[in-house]
Structure formats: structure tokens, C-alpha cells
Amino acid sequence: MSPKPKILVIGSANMDMVIQSDHFPAPGETIIGGEFSLIPGGKGANQAVAAARLGGEVCFISKLGQDIFGQQNLFNYQNEGIDCQFIGQIPEIPSGVALITVDKYGENTIIVAPGANHQLLPDDLDKGRRAFEAADMILLQLEIPMETVLATVNLGSALGKRIILNPAPAGPLSDELLSKLFLISPNETEAEFLTGVKVHDEASAKKAAQYFLQKGVQHVIITMGASGAYLHTNNFEGVLPTDKVTAIDSTAAGDTFNGALTVALGEGKDLVYAVKFALKAATLSVQRMGAQTSIPHMHEINPFQ
């Protein structure tokens, strides 16, 4: 049996407060919702959990408060088999939280209060340098300070590591940062924000991808919801479709996709295979409620065709 790929995830950790409703309230409107759930979330944590469940040996660098949410999240990560030695806890700032509303179509709106996530600073990366050195793949997002994102990319690049950036939530990215990425994986909305190209089909996705390629990004994936994902790599350009299913909650679909993708690449799979695998995992996740509660395990995807 080959060893598990070593995946380093740097990013946010939240507790999600989720309310189901028939529709989203208009400004000033109060509506009666349905079921309420308290579910561990945060893009970084979601991706770390996805990578762990789908075959990776995961180390997670993050920041939590010393409140009840922070303690519960840390317990959950340890139960997933994630290496938590570089997760800091600070007493004076609460853990991050997200307020999420999910409508009857499975769409969601999310407001995040970052809390301790904004205290994840470059010094924390120095403490975890040996995790960088051991990693086969590095995965990060944009729910942490940009200075920490830049420091991650610079350190990972200096060590010759393959870095995947999921640019969510979308924010300005420097040419220097882009030039050091192995892969970038925005969704349609994030791709439009970063490139100015409204992505709605394969042709527009290709145009947006060219922006990133010209900046020095080696490979580009643009996730396109129920349409699948556009991939531009050395030997393939085009949309890889996904299975048609009825979505219940799309909250962690992108995070599941990125975690699965990173594991497959860490195992040495090619990008076409890795995207197909990631789409399978994300499709399973949208058929379940919540963030980490929706992320599948490896046995649910095998045998993978």
C-alpha cells in the first residue's frame, strides 16, 4: 500500500450557524425558518477535513479562540486524524463564526465574522516550517490575512512545493503571488472578479483562464456548479461534466472539491483524473446538509471510474 500524500492546509476555521428557509429574506423582512444546526465549518477547515477523509495525511495550520467553539473544532479535527500541532488558540478573541441561510433550492447566503482567523499571521507559518518541508501539496484560501497568504506562497515556492490557491472569498491578487502558483481554482463568480470576464460557458471560461496563465499560473480550474469544471492544463482544455443531482445544500461543495483535488494530485494522479474525482466528491456533498457534515469519505466514492 502506497503512503498517503502529505497535504498541508493553511486557512480558516469557523463554527457555522445554519438555518434552513423557504426563501432568503428581503432587506427589512423577517421570516420564519426551519431547522437550525450548529456545524463545524470555515474554508480552511472544510478543505482539511475533505483531504483527510479522502485519503490524505493532513496537517492544518489555523487559529482558534479558547471559547467553546474553538474547543469543539479542535476536538473534531483530532477525531478526523488531522495533525493539529500548529493550530493556535488565543484567549482574547473569539473563534470565527458564519451565519448561513439555506433555501429550498440548496443555495446559500453566508456572513462570516472572522474572529481568531484574522490572527493567523506569518510568524505562525515559521513555527510550522517542518510541515511545509514535509508536504507533497499545499492548499490555501483567502479567509485569512493576505499577508499570511503571501507568506505561505513565498515559503512554499522557495521550498519547491506545489501550491493550490482556492481564491475564496475573492480578493485582489498580485502578479507576484499568481506567478508562484501551481494551480488556481476559482468558481465562476471569483473568476469574474479576478479577471473581469463573466464566466457562463466554456468559451468564457477559457478566456478567464488565459488571464491566469498569462500571469504565470501553471494550471487553471474554474468550477461551474452543476455544469462541472473547466480545466486548462498541458494536455487538456475544456469542461469536465458532473453528475446531475438534486442539491440540498451547496455550502461546502467547493471546499470538498479542492480537498479531493489536492489529495488526488498528491497521489500522483493527472489533472483530468483529479478533477473528475473532485467532482464526484463535490456532487456527493451537495446532497447533504451542512459544511463538514456533508463531506464524503473515500469508501463512498470508490470504485471510481
Q: Pick the closest to residue 282 from 182, 153, 185 (CA basis).
A: 185
Q: Which of 126, 243, 255, 270 is catalytic?
A: 255
Compute the Cα dihedral for 103, 107, 113, 115 and give only its sign: positive
70 marked as part of a ligand binding site: no
143 is known to lie in a ligand binding site: yes
Is residue 174 a known part of a binding site?
Answer: no
14 assigned ligand-binding residue: yes
Distance CA 70, CA 89 (A): 8
d(CA 117, CA 94): 9
The answer to whether the annotation marks 44 as part of a ligand binding site is yes
Query: H helices of the chain, where?
Result: 43-53, 68-79, 122-127, 129-134, 146-158, 175-178, 188-195, 202-214, 253-266, 271-285
Q: Is 288 exposed, middle or buried (0-12, 13-18, 19+ CB in 10 A)?
A: middle
In the chain, the amino acid numbered 123 is: D
83 is catalytic: no
- 254 labelled ligand-binding: yes
Q: Is 288 annotated as a binding residue?
A: yes
16 in a known ligand binding site: yes
Which residue matches cell numbers 510541515?
A: 131
80 assigned ligand-binding residue: no
Annotated binding site: 14-16, 42-46, 143, 187, 223-228, 249, 251, 254-255, 285, 288, 290, 294
Annotated binding site for ATP: 187, 223-228, 254-255
Catalytically active residues are 255
Annotated binding site for K(+): 249, 251, 285, 288, 290, 294
Annotated binding site for substrate: 14-16, 42-46, 143, 255
